[in-house]
Structure formats: C-alpha cells, structure tokens
Structure 1
Amino acid sequence: MRLGWYSALTPTEKRTYWACFGGFTLDSMDSTIYALMMPVLMTVLALTKSDAGLLGSVSLIGSALGGWGAGLLADRYGRIKVMQGTVLWVAAFTCLAGLCSSFWEFLPVRFLQGIGYGGEAVVGAVLISEAITPALRGRVAASVQSGYAVGYAISLTLMPVVFAWLPEHIAWRAFFAIGLLPAFLIWFIRRLVPESAAFTQAASQPRKKLDIKEIFGAQHRRVTLISTVLASGIFGGAYIMITWLPTYMRMVLNLPVASTSGYLAVNIIGSLLGPFVYGRISDHISRGKAFLLFLLCQACVVSVYTFAPINMTVTLGLGLLLGAFQGGLASGLPVAFAELYPTRIRANGAGFCTSFGRGFGSIMPAAVGFASTAMGLPTAMGVFAISSYAIAFVAALCLPDATGADMTEEHPQGVRHGGESADSSAAGHVGQTP
C-alpha cells in the first residue's frame, strides 16, 4: 500500500525523517510543559502575568542563541553529532525545572532549556532538508514540524493523568521530570541515521576558514535580513498564541482544566495538519506565495478569535484553524532558509535567521503580559499578534525564491548571485507527485 510521498522515500530518507520527527516531537513536549503549567505556577509560586511572560520570553531568547550556535557547530562537526547533543541538553534542563521553587530559579533554567530546543530545531531542519529529494522537500520537511503538535498532544494527555495521581504542589514537579524522555531517542539517532550526504561531500572538499560573518557579506546579506524579519513576524505571532492560549482559556473564558484540554486538543490537531497542507502548497506555488496565503488567513482568524463576541462552538472551530495556519507557517521557515544558502554555511544561515527570528519574536509574549494590565488579555493578544503577521507579510513579499534548490551546489539553484529573485528553473520539477 502506497502512503503518498512517504512511500517514495528511500530507507535512509525514512530513518532520517523519523529521527528528525522524533527529536522535534520530544523537544516540543518538553517546551510545551511550561505553557501548560503556567496557570499552576502562577497559583503555586505566586507568579504574576509579567513574570510568566518573561519566563516564556527568556526561553525563546535562549533558543535564538542556541539555534545559531548549534548551526555553526553543525557546519563544522556535522548535523548528527550536534543533533544528539541538543536532544540531551533539552531533556536535562526540562527535568531540572521540576526542582525550581521561585521565579529567579526558573529564569536561568528556562534560558538554558531554550538553548537546546532552538539548536535541535535548526539542526534537524537542515538535516531533513539536505536528505530529501528536491521535488518532495517542501512537504517532507514541513511535515517534520508536525512533531510539534504531537509533542504538545503528549504533554497535554499526560497532564491530567499526573494531576489525578498526585497533589498539585507535587504534580507540577513530576510533570517537568517527564522531560527526560527525549534522551532515549539518542540510541536511534546514533545507530541508524547517517550523516547528510551534502555535508559529507562538502566536508571532503578543501574547507575555508569558518567565518560566522559570511552570511552578512554582500552575497548573502539581503537574504539574511529578509529571512530574519520574516521569522520574527511569524514566531512573534505564534508565540503570543502558544504562550497565552492556555491562560486565556482558563482566566478569560473561565474553562475548567478538562474543558481547556479539549479546546487545546482541537488546536493541536490543527497544528498537526497545517504543515502537511503548507508543504504540499509550497511545493506547487513556491515557499513565498505559500507564506503570504497562510499569513493572511492567520491574521483573519486571530482577529475574530480575540476581538469578536463568539460562542464556544465558534471558538472550537477557530482553534482548529488557528493551529493549522500557525503550524503551517512555522513548518515552512526551516526548509525555505536552508534552500537559500550553500552547504558550508547552510546551518549557520538557517540557524541565524530562524533563531534570531525566535529571539525577536520572543519579545511579544512579554509585551502582551505587560500590555494586558492596561487593555486586557484578549485585546493585547490580538493587537500584538496581528502586528507581527503584518511585518511577516511584507518580508514574504521580498523573499527570494529557491524552491527545490539543489543542496549540493555552491550557489543554490534558483537564487541568482547576490540574492536576486529566483528564476523558474527550480520550480519546474517541484510539485511532481510520485
């Protein structure tokens, strides 16, 4: 029985796919534990909304530094080795969070956890982008990002179980301890997943001295700046909804824990489906046009979600769309950025754009926390999220197109020297369904 594009993958591509999907899933599980525990921590540890927003933002700042740093290491030492290290890093610091008892203890732990999460996300995205044939790259690489929804679903499913067995003041600590689970993925990666052929080929050639500033040189500067602005807008809007949605459900809509879990489950289903839809669309119409379509749709959904007087049924339906567009947008960034850089600086470039986009976007959850004291949480969420998507929309209009680029070439196919707009040669073979 054929399973669409998955049946067309080689055994090596399939193993690489599951390693990247598994890493993203388990790291997502670890990172979403905090969002789910935020209302509990605000009660048990007497954290304010501003404290909660800052803890959300500091993790994202850490992910910005971790993503770029891991990208530099991956260009130097290989994708697989660095991916293993980042998975272990996230597991360790998520577990350590269960030992914290105050805002000031949480602050460095959240920052360090973010470093690992950002690193794994970038390196895994570059690895899968290099491993998959160009005609399928968009949909396969985007589908890996569906692991975020799977990880969120795992943490959401485990939360009521843990809290049913243990009293609240102990349950939240035990919940963070579950973060050690990703460590078991290392065996699979170590034994069964080979290094990227593109990296191996590049490593066999005479190598230039590592220059972290090359992505800001004349040849790549325009691509780097536009891509970073695009990521900042997309992540800024996404982080607002991810960070504050559970609190919005509990404290604004006054939903009990069981109902909140149900509504979030619908959002997670959307996040699971969105990357598959985005990937197929981007392989057919190009990465940039797919970004424009999804950004416009997401801005409309957020507007209704936060400003319109809607009932619970409509809220449920919008939650599905919110997750789908959010997941699709985030899934498109890594492969789009990876296609824009040559192999020797691919993880560096993609890591910087993705990670500093996360860093700039991380300002938004904290901004919503502060602004909500004056304008209310729903209004603050809507205003800042829509502003973020508008910034991303402008950047997407300017993004060079390298859809289906040959990852082994010095200058990716479809991107002219200096970062000019792509020709149509790459797009010609993209979208051919096997």
Structure 2
Amino acid sequence: MLNLSLDKTNRRALISAIVASGTDDLNVMFLSFSMSSIMADLAINGAQAGWIATITNLGMLLGGLVFGVLADRYPKFKVFKWTIVIFALATGMIYLTSSLPYLYLMRFIAGIGVGGEYGVAIAIMAGIVPKEKMGRISSLNGIAGQIGSITSALLAGWLAPSLGWRGLFLFGLAPLLLVLWMQLAIDDHAISDHASHQSDEDTEIAHLSHLFKTKALTKQTLALMVMTTVQIAGYFGMMNWLPTIIQTSLGISVKDSSLWMVTTILGMCLGMLVFGQLLDRFGPRLIYTVFLLASAVCVFLFQFANSQLAMVLGGAIVGFFVNGMFAGYGAMITRLYPHHIRSTANNVILNVGRAVGGFSSVIIGMILDASNPSTVMIFLASLYLISFLAMLSIKHLKAEHYQTLSHQD
C-alpha cells in the first residue's frame, strides 16, 4: 500500500509512533470498562464518576499544550518517549487507588501523557514519510487506536473478573516495554525529519501564539478546532450513547448491542483506510466534503433502523463515514502549518477538540432527558454540517493546492 524505502532506524521509529497510538487508546479505554466497578468500590455517584473522564480530558489538553511546544523545541523522539512513560506510569499507579482524589490525580497525569503523545507521534511520522503519503500513514495511526480499544475490551473481559479493576490498570504499564525497545533499538539522532529546513521561519522557537500569528492562521486554527471538536463529539456521542439508545428503541440485549459496537469499529477502521488513500489522491476539500455530508445523512437516517440487521449494517456505515475522517487531521494539519510548530498545532487543535467535544455525552444525556432519540440524531447530524462549513473556510485544501503545499505562512 505504501512502498516506503526506509532504513532500519526510520522504519522502527515509524512503527513505534504508530504502535504508541494504540497503547494510549488502550489505557484510556480501561476506564470505560471499569467505571461500574470503580463506582461500587469507591462508593461514588454518577456525577463524581463523570468527573474522572472530564479530568482526564483536561489533562490531555494540558499535555497537548506543553508537549507540543517541547517537541517543537527539542528532539521529538526523546519528548515522545517521555509522553509514553508518563501515561504508562500514571495508569499503572491507579492500582494503588484508595480514594477518589488519588484516582482523579492519576487520571489527570495519564491524560497529560496521552494528550502529548498524539501530536508528537504525527510530527515524527511526517518527518519520515513523504508528504504525499501522510494520509495513508495517518490512517494507520487511527486504526492502531481502534485496535487499542478492542484490546482493552478483551483484557477487561478476560482479566477484570479475576484481578479486579485495579489489576486491570496494572496492564497500563505495558507501554514501558515499548519505550525500552525504542531506547535500545533506535538511534534518536538518525531519525529523518524531511521538512526541518523548510524556511527561515522554521528556525523560530515554537510558541502557542504562532498558531494565531496572522488573521489567516487564526481563522484556520479556529476552523480546525471546530472540525476536531465535532469529530470528537460525534465519536463520543455514537460510542457512549447509541448502544443505550438502540437497546431501548429495539428492545435488544447488551450482548446484541455489543455486536453493533464491533461492526461499528470495523466500519471505522475500513473508513480510515479508505479516507487516507483518497486524501492523498484527491486532497482534503473533496474528501472531507463527501465524508462530512455523508456523516450528516447517515447519522440522521440511523434513527429509522428498526431491526437488528439494520442496526448492525447501519452502525458499520455510520462508523465508516463518521470516524473515517479522523485519519485526515494529522496529515492535514501537518501540511497546513510550518515545521517549527507542527507538533504544537497537532496537539493543541486535537486536544481542544477532545476537551470541548467530550462534553457531547453530557449534552446528549440532557437532550434525552428533555426529548427523544430523534432529537439526538438531528443534533449530531447538524454538527457535521457545522464542521462542513468550517472546512469550507480553510484555504489551500483543493487538490491542486494541497499536493504542493508544505505549509501556510
């Protein structure tokens, strides 16, 4: 699919960047599969439990801000390894939880590491891989995250009953083995960074303010934040609430809704693969237009699924379009910003989306309390139309401009 000609060092660095994205999703998803046990063991209510995820997202935002800047100022691969060490140690330390404040603290620290890892990994990939193939590499990065989520579900099902929820989090230490391998097998100084000499501007020291340096950059940054917010909001809305909605509307069991979850994740993976291929060939304007409008239509129509077969097939189609787009943000942001703020741009834009978009679960819950599932579907479909309008405001996304674009000044 890629036909990359890389030496051993760069091949290993690329693989480690992709695999790390799966390990951070695995650690984050441990919480989803442990929440009911945590609530019972610590005797906390739903609001207190909800803050665990919110605090994790806030940690991700801080990690994105801090490590994005650090990776643009110092050797990216060294910073990358530190992000993994932080979220792995903090996740493993949850094993020692005896109180809710301690759990909050560990999740916040884990969030810092996870939030920092994404943008740094994307920047490492962009330095190694030719720009015309970044869409496909970014799709593999997204698929690694889905594999991490599936692995988390399997570990929770196999191990949590015997080890308890604390024992499950001990497996969060596993990424330390990846860091050890990276330390022993990869020469940091021999990793390529193709674009590091792009312009005199790239010699500047990275600052968050550079994302808003001009009126055009400010408009672009805000538009991308809107798009990533919708991306995360749609994902959390679909994965957190749709199983509950379809259980209620179709009267099916949790087991059957789990089948929907599996087919939806498979649809997401296929969507990422296809999106990455199309992005590299046709550019973001056309492909995001197709996927955003298709997402709005598919999500709206999903409310009319009236059988288990329609639910499963519809879930796969919705997953294909809704989360297939995630593969494009790393590649697109990398191309739109100067090299010296590449990690900063990826981390800040995505983690603002995570922090704001993460509130979609709360909003959907409020809508269900006041209305019905149809209103939820209309709400989610409308978000994709808003993202479409935001995308149209970004310059240089047509194929003829995007294929030659290194960054926008």
Q: CA deviation at 1:30?
A: 0.8
Q: Give the direction of change, closer, same or farther, for the CA distance of 1:242–1:136 in structure 2 (3 Å limit).
A: same
Instruction: Give the drift of 1:151.
Output: 0.4
In structure 2, the CA distance between the partners of 1:312 and 1:148, relative to structure 1 (3 Å rule), is: same
Q: What does 1:385-424 correspond to in 2, within 5 Å?
A: 385-401=380-396, 413-414=404-405
Note if contact 2:72-2:340 (Cα within 8 Å) is conserved in structure 1.
Answer: yes
Residue 169 of structure 2 is matched in structure 1 by 176
What's the counterpart of residue 70 of structure 1?
A: 67
Aligned positions of 1:105-144 closer than 5 A:
105-144=102-141
Contact 2:146/2:269 (CA < 8 Å) preserved in 1?
A: yes
- Residue matched to 2:315: 319
Q: Which amino acid aligns with 2:80?
A: M
Match of 2:12 in 1: 15
Q: Which residue identity does 2:307 align to in structure 1?
A: N
Over 3 Å counting, the alpha-carbon distance change for 1:244 and 1:97 in structure 2 is: farther
- 1:22–1:404 Cα change, 3 Å: farther
Q: Determine the C-alpha separation between the residues in 2 that align with 1:269 and 1:302.
A: 17
Pair 1:124–1:180, CA change in 2 (3 A):
same
Give 1:61 shift: 2.6
How far did 1:383 drift? Answer: 4.7
Q: CA deviation at 1:8?
A: 3.3
Question: 1:331 matched to which residue of 2?
Answer: 327
**Residue identity in the other structure for 1:130:** G
Partner SS state of residue 336, structure 2: coil
- Aligned equivalents of 1:274 and 1:328: distance in 2? 4
Task: Give matches, 1:200-239, under 5 Å.
Answer: 201=197, 207-218=203-214, 220-239=217-236
Q: Which of 275, 278, 292 is the aligned partner of 1:278?
A: 275
Q: For the residues of structure 2 that align with 1:292 and 1:205, how far apart are their CA atoms?
A: 32
Distance 1:58 1:278 in 2: 32
Deviation at residue 76 of structure 1 after TM alignment: 0.6
User: Residue 192 of structure 1 aligns to which amino acid in structure 2?
Assistant: I
User: Aligned in 2, Cα 1:242/1:112: closer, same or farther, shift over 3 Å?
Assistant: farther
May I ask how many residue pairs the two structures share in their alignment?
A: 404
Q: 1:145 aligns with which of 131, 142, 145?
A: 142
Indicate conservation of the 8 Å contact 2:14/2:124, yes or no: no
- 5+ residue gaps, structure 1, are 419-434
Q: Does 1:360 align with 2:356?
A: yes
Change (3 A) 1:304 1:358: same
Identity, % of aligned pairs?
Answer: 24
RMSD: 3.2
Structure that is richer in helix per residue: 2
Gaps spanning 5+ residues in structure 2: where? none
Relative to structure 1, is the Cα distance of residues 10 and 271 closer, same or farther in structure 2, using a 3 angstrom cutoff?
Answer: same
Over 3 Å counting, the alpha-carbon distance change for 1:355 and 1:270 in structure 2 is same
| Aligned residue in 2 for 1:187 | 180
Matched letter for residue 166 of structure 2 = R
Does residue 300 (structure 1) correspond to residue 297 (structure 2)? The answer is yes
The Cα shift of 1:271 comes to 2.4
TM-score by length of 2: 0.86
Q: Is the 8 A contact 2:250 2:307 kept in 1?
A: no
In the superposition, the TM-score normalised over structure 1's length comes to 0.82
CA offset digits 1:336-372 (Å, max 9, x no partner): 1111111112112222222212222122223234444
**8 Å Cα contact 2:60-2:115 kept in structure 1:** yes
